[in-house]
Amino acid sequence: EAGVAQSPRYKIIEKRQSVAFWCNPISGHATLYWYQQILGQGPKLLIQFQNNGVVDDSQLPKDRFSAERLKGVDSTLKIQPAKLEDSAVYLCASSLGTWNTDTQYFGPGTRLTVL
Amino acid sequence: KQEVTQIPAALSVPEGENLVLNCSFTDSAIYNLQWFRQDPGKGLTSLLLIQSSQREQTSGRLNASLDKSSGRSTLYIAASQPGDSATYLCAVKETSGSRLTFGEGTQLTVNP
């Protein structure tokens, strides 16, 4: 079974530039998550999708971050404009559903450096 | 607001030693608690999941316990090996929703 795919793996940009990350979840997984992991910290949930609807985006900085999940499969996370403090690893995860026993499967992440 | 703390932040042990990683959480109203492993440059891998009604879970050399009333969990690793070197994260899922709240992790190094 293929895992969660993310691209690019690494990205370096200047502050105030825009950047987009892509995630392809495990086939058949209805729920998709984007996490931000700053160096030395645990992942923090940015947004959770159930199919193509948003379930939780309470910790997403909506003035600069946006995400979409068209057709309930792939997802894109965008930052516009980027700030220095956005330097982090952005992790995508997926699970079968929203049941509390669901296991989340994580992709390898995209490491973003903002200069 | 749920807060999860892990102690120690880093641990270095010789191969073969038994070790304990600690996790504490501030709000005992959790649905389950999960331990993850994170290798450099890779995503997270789920190791053990304990439901709030359970006291412990075991998988191979790993044993996780949960004391919900005191807001604590421990991950016990028996006979540690160099391949166990990684960052170990605990995360709690709250009853009211499916968001995972993570601790900051314990970076484990097992020396040959």
* For residue B43, pLDDT beyond 90: no
pLDDT of the residue at A69: 95
* For residue B42, pLDDT beyond 90: no
How far is B4 from B106, CA to CA, in rounded Å?
12
Taking the CA of residue B17 and the nearest CA in chain A, the distance in Å comes to: 25
Of the pLDDT bands very low, low, confident and very high (cuts 50, 70, 90), residue A98 is low
Stretch among A74-83, A98-107, B99-108 having the lowest mean pLDDT: A98-107
Q: Where are any strands of DSSP class E within B15-60?
A: 19-25, 30-38, 44-51, 56-59
Q: Write out pLDDT tens, residues A25-83.
A: 999 999 999 999 999 899 999 999 988 899 899 999 999 999 999 888 999 999 999 99
Q: Write out pLDDT tens, residues A77-96.
A: 999 999 999 999 999 999 88
pLDDT of the residue at B98: 67
Contact residues, chain A, for B43 at CB < 8 Å: 4, 91, 93, 106-109
Stretch among A21-25, A96-100, A108-112, B106-110 having the lowest mean pLDDT: A96-100
* Touching B: A residues 68-107, CB under 8 Å: 91, 93, 98, 100-107
